[in-house]
């Protein structure tokens, strides 16, 4: 009986799937806050409550206000730094641009790939085309994964974010395969797994924290680490005809 491969490409989410974005982001914000204190020492004295969490809150507030009007995450972060400076009573005069550049440099200078990332991607490349599909702005070529992915799709470039199925259609078109030949791997049940399934893909949930799976989600497979992925994808991909 002939064995055929029903999956030809695997797409990956980035943040909290291939790298620890949360830690990267908080470290970069802490360094940026220290840079602000260096340039404007009065901020530390007059605003002792200005910390990483408040910078995150400013960014989330700005993102909510700009939703539907701005999709570029670097610009959203820039506006958030301007919001922080204004809240502290500081004139901008290019300071927000400096902080934004400083933040991005620090975020990408200390990339925290998960220990299982490179080995899993290297193994899978032998048999499948690999794609990258992200709502974020962590670029694979700046995260030590240059040349790994056949297709790289950022939601911010299209003004459409996961879980909107249109971004999955864009990714399928970019890699040149029908949805039934594709699988999505990610840490979000809503944005990566169920959304992919609704677009006709298969979805694998990377559950690093052993969280319970709500009844409304039914991943095609669940893995605790990327080390499990090659065997799981092979099981899904191979069928008898």
Sequential pLDDT tens for the chain (241 residues): 344 468 999 999 999 999 999 999 999 999 999 999 999 999 999 999 999 999 999 999 999 999 999 999 999 999 999 999 999 999 999 999 999 999 999 999 989 999 999 999 999 999 999 999 999 999 999 999 999 999 999 999 999 999 999 999 999 999 999 999 999 999 999 999 999 999 999 999 999 999 999 999 999 999 999 999 999 999 997 753 3
- State how far the Cα of 80 lies from the Cα of 82, in Å rounded to an integer: 5
Name the phi and psi angles at 48, rounded to 5.
-65, -15
- State how far the Cα of 60 lies from the Cα of 108, in Å rounded to an integer: 21
Beta-ladder partners of 212: none
**Whole-structure pTM over 0.85, yes or no?**
yes
Each as own residue / partner, the long-range contacts of residues 48-57 (CB below 8 Å, 24 or more positions apart, any chain) are 50/84, 50/88, 52/26, 54/84, 55/29, 55/80, 55/84, 56/29
């Amino acid at each position: 009986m002939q064995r055929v491969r029903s999956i030809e490409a695997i797409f990956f989410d980035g943040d909290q799937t291939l790298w620890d974005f949360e830690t990267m982001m908080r470290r970069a914000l802490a360094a940026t806050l220290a840079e602000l204190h260096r340039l404007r020492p009065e901020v530390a004295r007059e605003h002792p409550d200005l910390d990483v969490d408040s910078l995150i809150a400013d960014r989330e507030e700005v993102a909510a206000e700009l939703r539907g009007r701005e999709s570029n995450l670097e610009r959203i972060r820039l506006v958030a730094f301007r919001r922080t400076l204004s809240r502290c009573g500081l004139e901008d005069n290019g300071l927000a641009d400096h902080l934004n550049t400083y933040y991005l440099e620090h975020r990408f200078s200390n990339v925290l790939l998960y220990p299982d990332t490179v080995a899993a991607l290297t193994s899978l490349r032998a048999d499948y085309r690999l794609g990258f599909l992200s709502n974020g702005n962590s670029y694979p070529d700046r995260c030590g994964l240059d040349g790994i992915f056949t297709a790289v799709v950022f939601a911010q470039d299209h003004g459409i974010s996961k879980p909107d199925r249109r971004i999955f259609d864009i990714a399928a078109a970019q890699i040149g395969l029908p949805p039934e030949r594709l699988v999505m791997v990610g840490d979000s049940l809503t944005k990566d797994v169920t959304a992919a399934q609704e677009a006709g893909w298969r979805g694998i949930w990377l559950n690093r924290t052993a969280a319970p799976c709500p009844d409304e989600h039914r991943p095609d497979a669940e893995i605790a680490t990327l080390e499990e992925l090659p065997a799981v994808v092979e099981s899904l991909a191979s069928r008898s005809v």
